[in-house]
Amino acid sequence: MTKNNYVKIFDTTLRDGEQSPGATMTSAEKLEVARSLARMGVDIIEAGFPAASPDDLEAVRRIALEVGRPAPGESEAKVPVIAGLARANKSDIDKAWEAIQGAAKPRIHTFLATSAIHMKHKLKMDPEEVVQRVSEMVAYAKSKCEDVEFSPEDAGRSDPEFLYVVLGEAIKSGATTLNIPDTVGYTTPDEYFALIDGIIKNTPGMHDGITISVHCHDDLGMATANTLAGIRAGARQAEVTVNGIGERAGNTSMEEVVMALRTRKPIFNLETGIDTRQIARVSKLVSNYTGIVVQPNKAIVGANAFAHEAGIHQDGMLKHQTTYEIMRPEDVGVNQTKLVLGKHSGRHALRNRLAEMGHSLDDVELDKAFARFKELADRKKVITDVDLEALIADEFYRPRDVYILDGMQVTCGTMGMPTATVRLKGPDGKLHVFAAMGSGPVDAAYKAIDHIVKMPNTLLEFNVHAITEGIDALGEVTVRIQGQDGLHTMDAQSEIPYQRVFGGHGADTDIIVASAKAYLNALNKLIIAQTEGLNPTPANHLHGVMLG
């Protein structure tokens, strides 16, 4: 077993995190998140589940080629491992290898359930059959890829003695990373510590070349506590997601584990390779793309994480920061930098600032970004990094446009009915105009858009907030919609119908315009999914992909 003071961060935002209902990202969005994770210093990026669909396979392949390979002059040591998930069968493993083989450091991550309840009711396999399948499929994965990770799904509810046998066979067949998932968030920290400790001490064939990994879910609110308990027991890889997104109540939050290890270093005496100053930026990026808003009181990255309202707290903070803050906002990238660029700034200044923020734009992209920047600068005196992040996300990382907002006019107030006139450019290049009344300006705008687009859906969630300060603040809107026609899909094995959920994001100094952009962003995803059949069998609905 690996014994050192370095904890590898295995980020599964793009696989397990994307299993959150409505969090499905486009290939372009996944690629940008992967780039950001790599810049932040993540050791392993689980890029997706290639067997889920041709689109997911292609997204993983692009990440392997564009993020998993060193740039000219870059050391391969700085390039993250790119992992693809596969169930314990040859077809899945073949697709995973097809997707990741272009990476400099590829990894196949395969899994099979080991709890009695999963073996009996889901797999319908005897324990002996499970052991045999693990042995055969880990060996098959090893024949394709040198780096193989194995996970006994639902390990938290598995018989430890049986786990020792299964994991021993995985080691014998070539696995070098053993991931121990608390798939349904069932264990307590003491129980999980004992489980990891027992595996390290009792698994046949355990040696220094084996890395024990922890993967916990938050169903009982103990994911971070369990992960840290597993690390204290000797695990040296933590499987996490940005903002803690994931199946059901979510996964262990990357930012919580990383900052706990850093802030309480005297207790853990461990370190990671994460550049913590990028945490806030990546958190915002993932929130924008998934449409899942970070709760204000969320640890580390919530809007209130470094806010103080109580008089006693404010008094203490004014006297000394450490009275009520155990870490500095700057440590996680929450900076109070105000003026970054202004209306008189040129292309060169904008390019340099975006490069510092991790965005590398070619000349054509820079021209588009510069035009949007100038437009924003004419309306807003103070432009911050947050404004630029929103601008870049809105301009470059939305889905391919089917309908584009070309103009809108809204009237509202206490006199008369709120009315919105919306002009959209359709896929045929023609302009479509319609006016509608509603209970409010946003409702009127959405009704006008619905009349033009004619894509039945249900609005599940609508969130709006200012992302910068002042009366000229840039407003941000996120929505989640559910398709109603033609979007019933069958689960791959259980054949349970479900309807897909799509998230949308929009930003503008005019909050009604931002609302329309967000709605169109989600509608465009829905239209593409329906007309082109992208992700017909999403990873989050494939039978058995619950390990996290």
- Is 540 domain-assigned? no
Tell me: do 166 and 310 sit in the same domain: no
- pLDDT tens-place string over residues 91-119: 999 999 999 999 999 999 999 999 999 99
Rounded distance, CA 141 to CA 137, Å?
6
Model confidence, pTM: 0.77
pLDDT-derived band at 78 (thresholds 50, 70, 90) equals confident
Tell me: do 240 and 328 sit in the same domain: no
Tell me: do 14 and 140 sit in the same domain: yes
Q: What percent of the chain lies above the pLDDT cut of 70? A: 84
Residue 312 has pLDDT above 60, yes or no: no
- Is 176 domain-assigned? yes
Q: Which range, of 122-131, 232-241, 336-345, 465-474, averages the lowest pLDDT?
A: 336-345
Tell me: do 101 and 212 sit in the same domain: yes
Q: Is the dihedral of CA 361, 384, 39, 111 positive or negative?
A: negative
What value does the mean pLDDT take over residues 363-390?
Answer: 78
Supply the CATH number for residue 494's domain.
3.30.160.270
Tell me: do 380 and 329 sit in the same domain: no
pLDDT-derived band at 535 (thresholds 50, 70, 90) equals very low
pLDDT at 322: 63
- Is 547 domain-assigned? no
Secondary structure (3-state) at 311: helix
Query: What's the token pair of residue 515?
Result: 């609302």
pLDDT at 328: 82
Tell me: do 295 and 365 sit in the same domain: no
Tell me: do 15 and 108 sit in the same domain: yes
pLDDT at 541: 36
**Judging by DSSP bridges, how do beta strands 44-48 and 8-11 pair with one another?**
parallel
Alpha helix (H) residue ranges in 158-276: 160-173, 189-202, 223-232, 254-263, 265-268
**Judging by DSSP bridges, how do beta strands 419-425 and 404-411 pair with one another?**
antiparallel
Higher-pLDDT residue of 358 and 188 is: 188
Residue 151 has pLDDT above 90, yes or no: yes
pLDDT-derived band at 309 (thresholds 50, 70, 90) equals very low
pLDDT at 394: 66
pLDDT at 485: 58
Supply the CATH number for residue 157's domain.
3.20.20.70
pLDDT-derived band at 246 (thresholds 50, 70, 90) equals very high
**Apex 65 CA angle, 55 and 537, nearest 5:** 15
Tell me: do 261 and 156 sit in the same domain: yes
Secondary structure (3-state) at 228: helix
Residue 120 has pLDDT above 90, yes or no: yes
Q: Is the dihedral of CA 217, 222, 224, 230 positive or negative?
A: negative
What DSSP letter does each residue of 514-540 carry, written as one string?
A: HHHHHHHHHHHHHHHHHHH--SSS-GG
Amino acid 35 reads R
- Is 539 domain-assigned? no
CA 428 to chain centre: 33
Q: How distant, in Å, are the alpha carbons of 82, 180, 369 from that of 74?
A: 17, 33, 27
Q: How distant, in Å, are the alpha carbons of 217, 356, 539 from that of 111?
A: 16, 39, 14
Secondary structure of 411-428 in HEC code, one letter for each residue: ECCCCCCCEEEEEEECCC
pLDDT-derived band at 497 (thresholds 50, 70, 90) equals very low
- pLDDT tens-place string over residues 502-527: 888 888 888 999 999 999 988 988 88
pLDDT at 536: 39
- pLDDT tens-place string over residues 273-301: 999 999 998 998 899 888 888 988 999 99
pLDDT-derived band at 543 (thresholds 50, 70, 90) equals very low
What b-and-e string marks burial along 241-264, b requiring 16 or more CB atoms within 10 Å of the CB?
bbbbbbbeebbbbbbbbbbbbbee
- Is 341 domain-assigned? no
Tell me: do 382 and 478 sit in the same domain: no
- Is 102 domain-assigned? yes
Higher-pLDDT residue of 524 and 339 is: 524
Q: State the total domains in the chain.
A: 4
**Judging by DSSP bridges, how do beta strands 419-425 and 431-437 pair with one another?**
antiparallel
- Is 55 domain-assigned? yes
- pLDDT tens-place string over residues 455-478: 999 998 898 877 666 656 678 898
The terminus-to-terminus CA distance of the chain in angstroms comes to 23
Query: What's the token pair of residue 417?
Result: 């009915």
Tell me: do 116 and 224 sit in the same domain: yes
Enclosing domain of residue 365 = 347-396
- pLDDT tens-place string over residues 420-460: 999 999 988 899 999 999 999 999 999 999 999 999 999 98
Tell me: do 224 and 315 sit in the same domain: no
Secondary structure (3-state) at 148: strand
Tell me: do 140 and 203 sit in the same domain: yes
pLDDT at 470: 61
Secondary structure (3-state) at 449: helix
Query: What crossing angle do the helices spanning 189-202 and 160-173 adopt, rounded to 10°?
Result: 50
Amino acid 305 reads A
Burial of 188 (0-12, 13-18, 19+ CB in 10 A): middle
- pLDDT tens-place string over residues 5-35: 999 999 999 999 988 877 878 888 899 999 9
Rounded distance, CA 169 to CA 43, Å?
26
Name the average pLDDT for the chain. Answer: 86
Backbone angles phi, psi at 467, to 5 degrees: -105, -5
Rounded distance, CA 212 to CA 202, Å?
13
Query: What's the token pair of residue 102?
Result: 């272009």
Q: Is the dihedral of CA 20, 390, 335, 40 positive or negative?
A: positive
Query: What's the token pair of residue 32?
Result: 């940008």
- pLDDT tens-place string over residues 167-183: 999 999 999 999 999 99
Higher-pLDDT residue of 543 and 245 is: 245
Length of the chain (residues): 548
Residue 42 has pLDDT above 70, yes or no: yes
- Is 194 domain-assigned? yes
pLDDT at 473: 66
Q: Answer whether 16's CB lies under 8 Å from 23's CB.
A: no
Query: What's the token pair of residue 186?
Result: 């069932």
Q: Answer whether 286's CB lies under 8 Å from 245's CB.
A: yes
Higher-pLDDT residue of 350 and 238 is: 238
